[in-house]
Amino acid sequence: QSALTQPASVSGSPGQSITISCTGTSSDVGGYDYVSWYQHHPGKAPKLMIYDVSNRPSGVSDRFSGSKSGNTASLTISGLQAEDEAEYYCGSYTGGSTLFVFGTGTKVTAL
């Protein structure tokens, strides 16, 4: 099972919106609405930002939103803030022997 494909980096000015893509196959992203997104600041515990494609856990800012079309899921950060600078990973359930697969990771920079 290969890792899901994400852009290595995405940047934007504070206040702008950015979108991170996460591309898989019909065996993972495209086959199930079980995509999740994680924010990871170096040296800290990863934080769940989105689950089941578009659901936000309690306490996560509504500036974060998720969607999916076909084999590609997306995370949008609206009103980008300096505190949003981090690595972001998508993840998906797979129907195969590898139960869960992560994306390659995207470094978000607020210019």
Partner 1 sequence: QVQLQESGPGLVKPSGTLSLICTVSGGSISTYYWSWIRQPPGKGLEWIGHIYYSGTSRYNPSLESRVTISIDTSKNQFSLKLSSVTAADTAVYYCARVQMATIFMDVWGEGTTVTVSS
Residues that bind partner 1 (CB under 8 A): 3, 33-34, 36, 38, 43-48, 51-52, 57, 89, 91, 93, 97-105
Residue 47 or 63 with smaller CB distance to partner 1: 47
- Contact partners, residue 12, CB within 8 Å, separation at least 6: 18, 80, 109, 110, 111
Residue 22 or 77 with smaller CB distance to partner 1: 22
- CA atoms within a 13 Å half-sphere pointing along the CA-CB vector of 59: 2
Residue 71 or 106 with smaller CB distance to partner 1: 106
